[in-house]
A and B are shown apart, each in its own frame.
Chain A
């Protein structure tokens, strides 16, 4: 595709429900990243994929968070039993390779609101 796409653009869910956020990276990009940004804050790294494997999951805040990537393309971030503190914008980015400093292309984000 022309750019990184994410769906849904907005999600409102009740506390305790599970949510799935989707990211479609740029075709051919082997590296994929998930970030979280709370209101007025910087980006918080969550997880990095190289192909279908995740060599760095260090940013996942709890075991309620998980992510997978299939076919070296689409990735899904799942949050189980959502809490109000999970409310944030979730951003996905992709890059050609996973080496440090590769230019990252960001999607528009999914704004998650947990009520």
Chain B
């Protein structure tokens, strides 16, 4: 499968703590994206990291990419209740024209 596989499948933490989610993939990529989904409807793009980048920041989000290990991580710092959602990684496979999403990580932030 070319899809990204997120780990863990579910994560529950206290508000204010940091949340880390991991993604693994199997083939060469141009870049890798992370998306968030609230309430099972439309996805929202969070961040894109290119294959020649190792780390990228956006607000409270920090994404790392290790192409040698074919893995990425998403760190959300100082979590808030509004961060409760499902998070998906989507590798942009070289030569492909579509994104292939994994099963996602269900993140719950407890007040």
Contacts and interface: CB of A to CB of B under 8 A. Distances in A.
Query: Interface residues of A toward B: which range?
Result: 20 to 34
Contacts of A42: 3, 88, 101-104
B44 interface: yes
A99 B97 contact: yes
A56 B103 contact: no
B45 interface: yes
Interface residues of B, number: 28
A100 B99 contact: yes
B74 interface: no
Given A42-B103, A55-B97, A100-B92, A91 B30 contact: no
Nearest 8 pairs of A and B residues by beta carbon? A101-B92, A106-B42, A43-B101, A101-B31, A42-B103, A100-B92, A106-B43, A101-B30
Interface of B: 3, 29-33, 35, 40-45, 48, 88, 92-104
Interface of A: 4, 31, 33, 35, 37, 39, 41-43, 45, 48, 50, 55-56, 89, 91, 93, 98-109
